[in-house]
Amino acid sequence: MRTWMLFTLAILLLLGSTIRSSQAALSYYSENYAARLQTSNIGAALTENGNDTDGRLLSCMLSEKEKICPGRAYEERLGVRNTGSIDVYVRVILYQYWVDQEGNKRTDIPSDLIRLNLTGGKWIEDPAASTEERKVLYYTNILKPEEQTSDLSDTLTIDSGVMAHVTKSTRIENGYTVFTTTYDYDGLGFVLEAETDAVQTHSGEDAVQSAWGVAVSVDEGGRLSLSEEKTVTEEL
């Protein structure tokens, strides 16, 4: 489910807001291990600001009449909770991009103007699988049933640079010169999507490789790290 509002811009102020978001909480496991586990044993749910999401992100970001302000950092703490009955490793895939009023993606607009601040810590990013619009993160620790990860992000900011993208024009009207400033991002929406899934910790290195197509190392304490030589085979 996705919710969104539109930008309405004036010369100096953002008078409206844009929020368009979705979340897909996926739970699956490698078919190679299907004989060993029941699907109901593995589960992961995205959390937002400490609470399980209802399929939407950013729904509580603004009050009813509040306008979004470029440059302001809004609380956006994302994490994952183990909803299954066995220990798991989890990952999160983040997408951020712009859309026009019809919901069509605008690939000509820098997605890094949407700034989700990642906290690091026990979360590691896979640079080989990440792009400008997508980030792939793995939680390094084993997540036990009903446990919740540390937050992978803490704030969301729309870069104030959106206000600098303007087109200026002049025209003569009734003998007067009229100056018009049009904001290039007027009417656009921004999208933040987060997707999470989990795999078993039993034979963890093989399970992760089979399910996610990434080579990892697991130490004696069960902590996961990306291998230096790895191949991403799964299409994200």
Which range among 15-29, 157-171, 179-193 shows the weakest confidence by mean pLDDT?
15-29
Number of C-beta neighbours around residue 33 at 10 A: 17
175's CB contacts (< 8 A; 6+ apart) are none
Name, of 24-33, 96-105, 203-212, the range with top average pLDDT: 203-212
Band (pLDDT 50/70/90 cuts) for residue 143 is very high
User: What average pLDDT does the structure give for the chain?
Assistant: 77
Domain span at 32: 20-226
Give the residue, 36 or 124, on which the prediction is more confident.
124
Q: Which CA distances in Å does 122 have to 7, 61, 143, 153?
A: 35, 25, 11, 11
In a domain, 91, yes or no: yes
pLDDT tens figures, 4-18: 333 333 322 232 333
In a domain, 160, yes or no: yes
Percent of the chain surpassing pLDDT 70? 76
**Contact assessment for residue 7 and residue 188, using Cβ atoms and an 8 Å cutoff:** yes
In a domain, 52, yes or no: yes
> Burial of 59 by CB count in 10 Å (0-12 exposed, 13-18 middle, 19+ buried)?
middle
pLDDT tens figures, 55-75: 677 767 767 777 778 899 999
In a domain, 120, yes or no: yes
Q: For residues 21 and 5, what is the distance between their CA atoms, to the nearest angstrom?
A: 10
In a domain, 208, yes or no: yes
In the DSSP assignment, the letter for residue 39 is G
Task: Record the pTM.
Answer: 0.75
In a domain, 50, yes or no: yes
In a domain, 113, yes or no: yes
Q: Which CA distances in Å does 132 have to 111, 136, 161, 165?
A: 7, 11, 17, 20
- As for how many domains the chain has, the answer is 1
Residue type for position 152:
L
